[in-house]
Structure 1
Amino acid sequence: MTLRMRVGQFIAYFFRSLLWSINLLLVLYTCLAYWLLYSLQTEHWSASMIMITLPVAWVLNFVVVCLWLTARPWRSWLSGLVLIIGLILFGSRTFVWHTPTEFEGKGQPVNVFSYNVQSFDLTASYDLYQSSPRVRRTMNYVLHYDAPIKCFQEFYNSTTIPDYNLVKRFQEAGYTHTAFLFPEMAQATDGDVGVAIFSKYPILQSGREPFGPQNGIVWANVKIGNDTIRIINVHLHSMGIRVGKVLKQKEIKGVQRETRGVLSALHNGFTDRREEVIKVERYIHESPYPVIVTGDHNDTPYSVVYERLRRTLPNSFEDAGRGFGFTYNHLPGFIRIDHQFHDPKLTVLNFETINYIKYSDHYPIVGTYALK
């Protein structure tokens, strides 16, 4: 055997050993994420950071499986087994494929529409109010979508220009019952209403709890025929993920600065959302009526917020959705952070992420429900 062959064998052995070591560490990391998410033993922000990276760990395990299949096929079983366990434990919150259920019985099903409208982009194009077809298309879409209950986050209203006086236009379209996070802003010249509920059905009672300038909870007890349900519309603290800003940096210092900003925002977001979801749970438990929780939760299905709500109420996407259901329209894009959870007393017939509507940085979601 020549020296070149010996060196080649040594290099191949070194890299196989390195890959196997990385493989073992990756498997341990993935199993830790499984344990944290499944047991919810701790809700510390560091645990949330590990949980949210679970899809990345799955992708890396899949890459490792492919690499071993080309070199040492028998070693691919470890990551393969981890992927199978993940599919069993968390597959339904990642990918589902349900067909819509036909409504049977008296009355009619109820559509609950939810959309983070990003202030209709009015704040970014203030000087172009009167000549912004994109903004007008957004407003016309949310106004005419066929749903008797509509929930919005980052809702914005302006009374100075008739086209943009959305509160008035909704009322003229039959949505005469409303609940706002900041009701005083609904009649302002330029108002950040924040979280908003519009209903064609009577609202018997409502309440609100702000978390910040636009974040908070708005709930409304809505009477539908002889029944009453509670709609809880939430906008939890932002994730703070601005991948685009990191990628746009041309110098390493800029990348480091933006990366630190993202990590700091993630830390603050995990901490704030954990406190906010406890308040959401309180409104659920205090409700004398069946509950639907909808809105921009700013957390993925692999998080403390999602897991806590999922243990309280079934998730509508998991019960009646299709595909991956990604709801974020900017980088990183492949995340689902807008959710609906429903009371077991309500049957979810269909759930849709309307991913062809790209007016905002979120996609609209809509659930169709029938009262049992």
Structure 2
Amino acid sequence: MNVGFQIRRFTTFFFRSLFWSLNLLLALYTLLSYWLLYSLPSQHWSAGMVMISIPIVWLFNLVCLVLWLFTRPWRSWLSGVVLLIGVVLFGQRTFVWNSPRNTPGGGTSVKVFSYNVQSFGLDNDWARVHSSPKVRRIVNYALRYDAPVKCFQEFHTSTANPDYDVVRRFRQAGYSYSALLHPELASVTDGSVGVAIFSIYPIIHSGREVFSRGNGLVWANIKVGQDTIRVINVHLQSMGIRVGKVFKQDKLTGVRHETRGVLSALRYGFIERREQVKRVERHIRESEFPVIITGDHNDTPYSVVYEEMRRVLPNSFEDAGRGFGFTYNRLPGYIRIDHQFHDPKLPPLNFETINYVSYSDHYPIAGTYLIGGARKKK
């Protein structure tokens, strides 16, 4: 047996042992993330970092499973079991395939449309003054989409151009009732209204709570026939993920700077959203009517915010959606951060992520709910 063969055998053994050790650490880390998300023993921002990494560690575990299948098949069980546990615990919030349901007799179906419109592009001074085809397309889409209740985040309006006077145009289109986070900005040349609800049905009462300049919630008690529901539209603190800026850096110092910026923004976002979701829960508890929550939560299904909301109300995507439901139209892309949650008295008949509409950095979502069916059956 020559020296070269011995060296190769030792090298193979070393790297295989190292890979197995890393696989063990990966499995322990994955199980830790499961425990944190399932039991929420801590809501510290560092725990939030671990939770949102679940899809990434799933990918790493899948790579380990495949590699071991081709080298040491018996070792593939570790990542296989870890992945199976993840599917059992969190599979429903990751991928579902529900069929749309028909409206049963005695009830009314109401579609709630939600869209982060990225200011319609009107936060740009040039766009507000000049006629921009891009702005007109997204405004017209928001106006023409067929839904009696429409909720927006990063809503912007401007009286500088009749085409961009979006609040006025919604009212002319039949949405006579509205609730706005910053109603005082609804008729100015640069109106960053923020969060908005428009309804064809009467709004009998409404309220708002500002978290920060652009973030907050608006709620509206909406009369649908003989029934009343409360719709709460939220826009929580941004995730701060700007992965594209990291990849655009030519030098290592630039990559480090942008990476630190992303991590700092993530930390700040975790802390802020943790407090903001408590305010959302208070509005749910105070409502005398069944509630639908919609909006840009800026958190994935593997987060404190999502788990907290899920313990209060069922998630509409999980109950009536299809596929993965990714809602973010920028890098990293494969995440779902726009959500709807519903009272069990308002079962979803259908839920759609409209991922072919790419005017904004978010995709629109729409849930259709049965209103009053249970009451009228009595």
Amino acid of the residue matched to residue 32 of structure 1? L
Kindly report which structure 2 residues correspond to 1:294-309, keeping only aligned pairs within 5 A, or say none.
294-309=294-309
- Alpha-carbon offset, residue 212 of structure 1: 1.2
- Alpha-carbon offset, residue 345 of structure 1: 0.5
Task: Report what 2:101 is aligned to.
Answer: 101
Give the conservation status (yes or no) of the 8 Å contact 1:122–1:129: no
- Inter-CA distance 286–329: structure 2 relative to 1 (3 Å threshold): same
- Alpha-carbon offset, residue 187 of structure 1: 1.2
Output the TM-score relative to the length of structure 2: 0.97
Aligned pair 1:65/2:65, yes or no? yes
Task: Report what 2:4 is aligned to.
Answer: 4
- Alpha-carbon offset, residue 108 of structure 1: 2.8
Report the secondary structure of 1:263's partner residue: helix
Aligned-pair identity (%): 66
Q: Distance in 1 between matches of 2:77 and 2:107?
A: 53
Kindly report which structure 2 residues correspond to 1:140-179, keeping only aligned pairs within 5 A, or say none.
140-179=140-179
Give the conservation status (yes or no) of the 8 Å contact 1:329–1:358: yes
Aligned pair 1:352/2:352, yes or no? yes
Amino acid of the residue matched to residue 81 of structure 1? V
Task: Report what 1:184 is aligned to.
Answer: 184
Give the conservation status (yes or no) of the 8 Å contact 1:351–1:366: yes
Task: Report what 1:219 is aligned to.
Answer: 219
- Alpha-carbon offset, residue 124 of structure 1: 3.1
Aligned pair 1:291/2:309, yes or no? no
Task: Report what 1:39 is aligned to.
Answer: 39
Task: Report what 1:242 is aligned to.
Answer: 242
Deviations 1:234-277 (A, max 9, x none): 00000000000000000111101000000000000000000000
Deviations 1:139-163 (A, max 9, x none): 1000010000000000000012110
Report the secondary structure of 1:120's partner residue: helix
Q: Distance in 2 between matches of 1:360 and 1:47?
A: 30
- Alpha-carbon offset, residue 128 of structure 1: 6.6
Aligned length: 372
- Inter-CA distance 174–93: structure 2 relative to 1 (3 Å threshold): same
Task: Report what 1:133 is aligned to.
Answer: 133
- Alpha-carbon offset, residue 306 of structure 1: 0.1
The farther-off stretch of 329-338 and 116-125 is 116-125
RMSD: 0.9
- Alpha-carbon offset, residue 347 of structure 1: 1.1
Give the conservation status (yes or no) of the 8 Å contact 2:122–2:157: no
Q: Distance in 2 between matches of 1:73 and 1:114?
A: 47
Task: Report what 1:120 is aligned to.
Answer: 120
Task: Report what 2:77 is aligned to.
Answer: 77
Report the secondary structure of 1:187's partner residue: coil
Structure 2 spans left out of the alignment, 5+ residues: none
Task: Report what 2:320 is aligned to.
Answer: 320
Task: Report what 1:27 is aligned to.
Answer: 27
Task: Report what 1:51 is aligned to.
Answer: 51
Deviations 1:62-116 (A, max 9, x none): 0000110111000000010000000000000000001101111135300000000
Amino acid of the residue matched to residue 136 of structure 2? R
Amino acid of the residue matched to residue 27 of structure 1? A
Give the conservation status (yes or no) of the 8 Å contact 1:113–1:365: yes
Amino acid of the residue matched to residue 242 of structure 1? R
Give the conservation status (yes or no) of the 8 Å contact 2:230–2:291: yes
Give the conservation status (yes or no) of the 8 Å contact 2:123–2:190: no
Amino acid of the residue matched to residue 96 of structure 1? V
- Inter-CA distance 149–127: structure 2 relative to 1 (3 Å threshold): closer
Output the TM-score relative to the length of structure 1: 0.99
Amino acid of the residue matched to residue 326 of structure 1? F
Q: Distance in 1 between matches of 2:136 and 2:107?
A: 34
